[in-house]
């Protein structure tokens, strides 16, 4: 009876650790709400790029099965170690695989959404940089090069675009939009293509309008980040401590009680 009770306590501690690890990625669960909140700010942008995106096929960011496989494998390993030799061994493997796959998906979604929001902020900065530097007399390639200094995530894409720019300006800008794979980057590419064909003065109003829209979007992202700081603090500070404590203290306590029981039996 004591052994079964200790096993139950050990399993509870292990699953608390798994739950803490899953909650580390819980902020990705608010992504649909955040996207709905931000969609009203980018609705105008998306309407403007429908024609551009429909005329050019951009590859969608497809998910990968690796997060599910890795998460499921880790979950099965944890479940196997936790329930080795118990009657619930086989059922715990399935539960651990499902929980691990869910955790892997949450981590993958969180990383992908974080990357998308970072690119979105830097595209907004690039908008403003191109608008400012072309206004003071720089050419579009020079403005892109100077703007890439403040956009580290876009710097490699901008450099490849500039390397192709002298051969084919339109193709270089289209490739830039494909690589970044954001509607806002596609819109920037479309505006710059139009500027190359009709002159920057003809496209400046559109560039300034979309720059203001993206600035509002950036401000909304900043407000969301400020509001959610207490949640992030709890997730990134408190729950890892719970996870590590559960994984370390649970097995040690279980082993200690088993050894005490063995000594009592020998006596």
* 3 state SS for the chain: CHHHHHHHHHHHHHHHHHHHHHHHCHHHHHHHHHHHHHHHHHHHHHHHHHHHHHHCCCCCCCCCCHHHHHHHHHHHHHHHHHCCCCCCHHHHHHHHHHHHHHHHHHHHHHHHHHHHHHHHHHHHHHHHHHHHHHHCCCCHHHHHHHHHCCCHHHHHHHHHHHHHHCCCHHHHHHHHHHHHCCHHHHHHHHHHHHHHHHCHHHHHHHHHHHHHHHHHHHHHHHHHHHHCHHHHHHHHHHHHHHHHHHHHHHHHHHHHHHHHHHHHHHC
Question: How many domains, the chain?
Answer: 1
Q: What is the mean pLDDT of the chain?
A: 70
Q: Is the entire prediction scored with pTM above 0.75?
A: no
147-198 tens-digit pLDDT: 888 888 888 999 998 998 888 888 888 888 888 888 878 877 887 887 777 6
Local confidence band at 68 (pLDDT 50, 70, 90 cut-offs): confident
pLDDT at 52: 42
Per-residue pLDDT at 32: 42
**In this predicted structure, what is the pLDDT of residue 137?**
82
Query: Residue 69 sits in which domain range?
Result: 2-266
pLDDT (tens digit per residue) in 4-16? 555 555 556 566 5
């Amino acid at each position: 009876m004591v052994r079964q009770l200790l096993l139950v306590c050990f399993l509870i501690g292990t699953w608390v650790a798994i739950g803490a690890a899953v909650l580390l990625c819980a902020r990705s669960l608010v992504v649909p709400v955040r996207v709905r909140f931000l969609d009203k700010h980018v609705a105008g942008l998306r309407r403007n790029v429908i024609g551009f995106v429909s005329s050019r096929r951009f590859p969608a960011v497809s998910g990968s099965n690796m997060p599910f496989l890795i998460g499921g494998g880790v979950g099965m390993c944890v479940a196997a170690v936790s329930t080795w030799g118990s009657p619930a061994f086989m059922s715990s493997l399935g539960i651990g695989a499902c929980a691990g796959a869910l955790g892997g998906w949450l981590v993958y979604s969180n990383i992908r959404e974080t990357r998308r929001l970072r690119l979105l902020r830097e595209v907004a900065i690039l908008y403003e940089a191109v608008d400012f530097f072309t206004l003071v007399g720089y050419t579009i390639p020079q403005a892109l090069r100077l703007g890439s200094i403040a956009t580290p995530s876009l710097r490699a894409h901008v450099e490849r675009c500039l390397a192709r720019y002298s051969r084919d300006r339109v193709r270089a800008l289209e490739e830039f939009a494909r690589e970044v794979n954001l509607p806002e980057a596609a819109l920037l590419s479309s505006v710059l293509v139009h500027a190359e064909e009709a002159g920057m003065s003809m496209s400046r109003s559109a560039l300034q309008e979309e720059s203001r829209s993206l600035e509002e979007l950036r401000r909304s992202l900043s407000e969301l980040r400020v509001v959610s700081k207490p949640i992030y603090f709890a997730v990134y500070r408190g729950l890892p401590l719970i996870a590590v404590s559960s994984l370390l203290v649970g097995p040690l306590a279980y082993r200690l009680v088993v050894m005490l029981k063995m000594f009592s039996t020998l006596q």
